[in-house]
Structure 1
Amino acid sequence: MERNTNRWDFDIDTYINPWIPPSILQKLPHQISRFLGYRASPRKELGSILVALWSLFGAFCGIAAVSAVFKYSGVFSELDPPIIIGSFGASAILEYGVIGSPLGQPRNCVLGHFLSAVCGVGVAKLFQLSSHFDDIKWVAGAVAVGLSSAVMSITNTSHPPGGATALLAAVDVSVARLGWYLLPYVLIGTTLMLGIALAVNNIQRQFPVFWWTPKDTGGRLWPVSKATEPDLEALEEQKVVHGRSDIPTSFDLPMGSDSSTASLK
């Protein structure tokens, strides 16, 4: 029997999402939930000038904070780490500029960098077993980026700057010197950038669009309560029968509501 490989498919979220607790942001105090990205009603769009200014301010704060931590805190000082790795500059564009991109959400940023670092360091360690490592370092870089791309794709954590992290881990001397310490390095860096993104981006904008996935979560350890979900069919019927435009439907429920597939998971 001929197998159609074009139809091969695997979605890791099918197996993970039932075990991820549903969002509780709407239950938190407003001052907290707002800076975690929750909105009870749709946010207002900003003009491009304001977006550019907030992007400038956020990117400056994020990169400055990460650089300052690694320069002055003494973290990994015995390894003489770089002040910052170049891939964080690319992440700053996603975290503070294009904040609505799925590629820049918390799961993608943190896990994308982390998994890429694992791939890059692992490949580098393997190639370093060769006495001709300097001559084949370029191959190690290519393998590291290819592997990180595949891993991010299969785990739904694609974050383009992660590819640069994997490449640097294999070919850049200052980054490769960290070895497996690159893993906590990127966790510290991405966590700092994420924290600043939450503070800066939620002053006039909304970040993140989702924490884990835009799809539904829960159902195993955390069963979703149907009692709190609006009857969408009834709302649709009222809107048609009574001609009322103020009744929300399944298409115009605010982002972050309990039944919206775009709620912050």
Structure 2
Amino acid sequence: MKSGWSLASLPPMVSRWLGYRSGAMKPHPLYRVCFWSFLGAWIGIAVLVIIGTYSPQLHAYHSPLIIASFGASAVLLYGSIDAPLSQPRNAFFGHVIGALVGVIISKLFLQLADFESTAQYEAVRWVAGATATATAIVLMQVTTTVHPPGGATALIATVDDKVMAMGWYYIGIVAMSAALMIAIACLVNNIDRKYPAYWWRPTKLPLAFDPGNLATSLPSPSSQHGQEEDVALDMPSQSSSSSTLAHAILIDPARPLDLPDGLLGPDDIAALKTIHQKLGGSTKTEPA
């Protein structure tokens, strides 16, 4: 494994609030998940509305109390915290891309044109809204920062007159709102749960993953020297824990199932290796 900086190198009181845990967490009962989802969403939305209500700077920009698309982000950031669409990179850049695209499309289609009548203006507005949303989706896909509420952020910039009047300031307010929502998610979600699952990208394996090849999911039956050798997974270091990934069944490339010591006996491991060898042999092309 490659050595380098990781969240594990930070003091525990810091790394905890950034989503690091030295071991796997047990699943929570539904009532606890619902409680923390409610509390996180309540605090996140309340903070944004309070800032929008009492901030003189936002009043100067004629900003709405809250950008409506952050209501949808609250569902992801506090209610579905393990989903890829809920991770900080997607949540922040998805909104920023949506705001940037929305403002640009708004200016090109609606604010720079000289319309002869209100009817003509309204006839073009739907084109701007559809174009902004579709363009934002494509850019989020290209940059792998898909966050569904980001599409709404782009749409709002082309159909809400109050937001359109804000112009480029809209992008800054969206970025600030996204950063605050993520910061609150890190604080509330890490009290009893774990967030984020990753900050930039999921952990990658050092080998090409082929779902049809068990060699990437089970311990290798033998090395070139005839000795048994386990497949090494590029996962966060767990040197402080007695748990290892000596025998891991790979369900998801980003989330291997770490089997506790003693769960599988020698006979179980031997059976898995036998199945591995048989399936591996069955995939070989037989000579004509």
TM-score, length of structure 2 as denominator length: 0.69
Q: Residue 176 of structure 1: which of 140, 151, 164 is its match?
A: 164
* CA shift for structure 1 position 44: 1.4
Q: Residue 138 of structure 1: which of 107, 115, 126 is its match?
A: 126
Q: CA offsets, 1:102-144, max 9 Å, x none?
A: 0010000000000011111100100122213332101100000
SS at match of 1:146: helix
Q: CA offsets, 1:129-182, max 9 Å, x none?
A: 221333210110000000000000000000000000000001111221211111
**Shift in alpha-carbon separation, 1:246–1:203, aligned structure 2, 3 A:** closer
Aligned-partner residue type, residue 36 of structure 1: L
**Shift in alpha-carbon separation, 1:261–1:82, aligned structure 2, 3 A:** same
SS at match of 1:249: coil
**Shift in alpha-carbon separation, 1:169–1:42, aligned structure 2, 3 A:** same
Q: Residue 210 of structure 1: which of 194, 198, 202 is its match?
A: 198
Partner of 1:72: 54
* 2:180 is equivalent to residue 192 of structure 1: yes
Partner of 1:248: 245
Aligned-partner residue type, residue 198 of structure 2: F
1:1-265 matches, cutoff 5 A: 24-128=6-110, 129-130=112-113, 131=115, 132-216=120-204, 237=228, 247-249=244-246, 251=248
Q: What is the alpha-carbon distance in structure 2 between the residues aligned to residue 99 and residue 108 of structure 1?
A: 12
1:140 and 1:170 in contact (8 A); partners too: yes
**Shift in alpha-carbon separation, 1:125–1:202, aligned structure 2, 3 A:** same
**Shift in alpha-carbon separation, 1:247–1:89, aligned structure 2, 3 A:** closer
Q: What is the alpha-carbon distance in structure 2 between the residues aligned to residue 250 and residue 155 of structure 1?
A: 35
1:127 and 1:133 in contact (8 A); partners too: no
Partner of 1:257: none
Q: CA offsets, 1:171-224, max 9 Å, x none?
A: 11122121111111011101111111001001111100010100449xxxxxxx
Aligned-partner residue type, residue 142 of structure 1: A
**Shift in alpha-carbon separation, 1:248–1:114, aligned structure 2, 3 A:** same
How many residue pairs were aligned?
A: 217
Q: CA RMSD in A?
A: 2.7
2:76 and 2:86 in contact (8 A); partners too: yes
Q: What is the alpha-carbon distance in structure 1 between the residues aligned to residue 201 and residue 122 of structure 2?
A: 41
**Shift in alpha-carbon separation, 1:216–1:127, aligned structure 2, 3 A:** same
TM-score, length of structure 1 as denominator length: 0.75
Q: Which runs of 4+ in 1 moved over 3 A?
A: 236-239, 260-263
| Greater Rg by CA | 2
* CA shift for structure 1 position 250: 6.5
Aligned-partner residue type, residue 71 of structure 1: T
Aligned-partner residue type, residue 85 of structure 2: L
Q: CA offsets, 1:33-55, max 9 Å, x none?
A: 01100111011111111111111
Q: Which runs of 5+ in 2 are unaligned?
A: 206-218, 231-241, 257-288
* CA shift for structure 1 position 251: 2.8
Partner of 2:239: none
Which moves more between the two structures, 148-157 or 66-75?
Answer: 66-75
Q: What is the alpha-carbon distance in structure 2 between the residues aligned to residue 105 and residue 146 of structure 1?
A: 22
Partner of 1:18: none
